[in-house]
Amino acid sequence: DAKTTQPTSMDCAEGRAANLPCNHSTISGNEYVYWYRQIHSQGPQYIIHGLKNNETNEMASLIITEDRKSSTLILPHATLRDTAVYYCIVRVDRAAGNKLTFGGGTRVLVKP
């Protein structure tokens, strides 16, 4: 699976949009971009995933650049409950084993 690079931490203001970048310059054509988050002392939670088109669901939007070498997770209106570590993972879908390899993630602190 391709390696990802994320900022170690970032702060954002409550009620504002939070934009979380992720670089995956070695991504292959059949690899998807997944985002998970982990609130303190809990298991990770799936947020969204995509291949090349932008995606949106009730939690967030995922913007993938045309060359697919980077992406941005957007939390449209950050709340205090969105404080968590956010993990960007790229992997082949339906791959044998379906392993998820977690990197360091971005520690997001939403401030009042």
Partner 1 sequence: GAVVSQHPSWVICKSGTSVKIECRSLDFQATTMFWYRQFPKQSLMLMATSNEGSKATYEQGVEKDKFLINHASLTLSTLTVTSAHPEDSSFYICSARDSLAPTYNEQFFGPGTRLTVL
Contact residues: partner 1, CB under 8 A: 38, 41-46, 87, 93-95, 97-105
**Rounded distance between C-alpha atoms, residue 81 and residue 61, angstroms:** 17
Closest separation between CB of residue 5 and partner 1, Å?
14
Helix (H) or strand (E) holding 22, with range, is strand 18-23
Strand ranges of the sheet holding 31-38, from the earlier edge strand across to the other edge: 9-13, 106-111, 84-92, 31-38, 45-50
Cβ distance to partner 1 smaller for residue 11 or 46: 46
Cβ distance to partner 1 smaller for residue 76 or 104: 104
Cβ distance to partner 1 smaller for residue 50 or 105: 105
